[in-house]
Amino acid sequence: MALINPKKKEVQVKIVYYGPGRGGKTTNLEYINKKFKSRIKSEMVTVKTYNDRTLFFDFLPFDIGVIKGHTIKVQFYTVPGQVKYNATRKLVLRGVDGIVFVADSMELRREMNIRSLQNLEENLGSMNKNLNKIPLVLQYNKRDLAKEGIPLLSIETMEEDLNKTLNAPSFPASAVVGDNVAETMKKIISLTVSSLKKKLDVGEEK
């Protein structure tokens, strides 16, 4: 539900980072916020609990520039991973325009990734939305752990588990190091804004 304001010539898009708890969603946004600090004029807001796990969500809004005469404002959200916070996840998903699914590459997180993706599909379903029809990018995070000798899922396995039917663009990444973090974000913005093209054109005629 992108908000398009033809008068102010603004387009606002909402992108949600989804995925299992501890997968690295917050770290993705933190990395971007730090690296491009001077270009991001707003603050990142994190609503969290005492033990530093995302209880509710993170929120990072910024403008990426002017396209076809419209200022493009993007808002990034993350969701809490813990099973019990599904109500929060649903709330954050409201009006979503694009999704990044951050999967954890650690072997022992295989089931959690699959369950979290299912949960995403269910939650979207309850809003009459279909994951196949929403701009989506998959990120296979924590690839850096291979160096530490921690067993990781192979990219092929992750593609097979998560992306077989979706066929979405995917990136191996490391949110702590910053590998492919900006690339992931660029891709989702690009897909999401392109998918809004029709609406942009309507806006322009006014």
Partner 1 sequence: MAKNDEFSLTQELDEALEDFFSEEDSKAMLDKKTASAKTSTKKNKTVAKADDEESVLSLDQSSQLDVSGANLEKIKAIVLQLEWEITDETMESFIAEVEALTQIYKGDDHALPLLKVLDTLSRYVNKNKVKSHPEAIKCLRSVFDALEKIFTTKGMADKQRKSIVDTELERYNSLKNQLTEKAPKATSNIERIAKVSGTVSAKELKQFLVDEIRKAIQEEFQKIRKELSNH
**Which residues contribute to the site for partner 1 (CB under 8 A)?**
1, 3, 12, 14, 36, 38-39, 41, 45, 47, 49, 55-56, 59, 61, 64-68, 72, 75, 85, 87-88, 91, 94-95, 182, 185-186, 189-190, 193-194, 197, 200-201
Q: Are 200 and 20 in contact (CB under 8 A)?
A: no
Question: Based on CB atoms, which residue is closest to Mg ion, 12 or 26?
Answer: 26
Answer yes or no whether residue 141 interacts with Mg ion by CB under 5 A: no
> Least separation, in Å, of the C-beta of 202 and partner 1?
13
The one of partner 1, Mg ion, ligand GDP, none whose footprint includes residue 186, by CB under 5 to 8 A per kind, is partner 1
Taking CB within 5 to 8 Å according to partner kind, which of partner 1, ligand GDP, Mg ion, none is near residue 176? ligand GDP
**Choice between 121 and 183, CB closer to partner 1:** 183
Query: 96: closest CA among 203, 200, 195?
Result: 195
Looking at the Cβ atoms of 6 and 21, the one nearer to ligand GDP is: 21
Q: Which is nearer to partner 1, 50 or 148 (CB)?
A: 50
- Dist CA 188 CA 191 (whole Å): 5
Assigned token pair, 128: 């009459």
Closest approach, Cβ 36 to ligand GDP, in A, equals 17
CB of 192 to ligand GDP, least distance (A): 20
Phi, psi of 42 (to 5 degrees): -110, 175
| Rounded distance between C-alpha atoms, residue 175 and residue 24, angstroms | 6
Q: Which is nearer to Mg ion, 78 or 105 (CB)?
A: 78
> Which residues in 45-55 are b (16+ Cβ under 10 Å) and which e?
ebeeeeeeebe
Picking from 155, 86, 160, 165, the residue whose alpha carbon sits closest to that of residue 119 is 86
Parallel, antiparallel, or unpaired for β 54-67 and 136-141? unpaired
Smallest gap from Cβ 104 to Mg ion, in A, equals: 12
Q: What is the number of residues in the chain?
A: 206
Strands 70-78 and 10-18: what pairing? parallel
Candidates 12-20, 47-55, 68-76, 106-114; binding stretch for Mg ion (CB under 5 A)? 47-55
- What whole-number distance in Å separates Cα of residue 110 and Cα of residue 105? 8
Give me the residues that bind Mg ion (CB under 5 A), please.
25-26, 54, 78
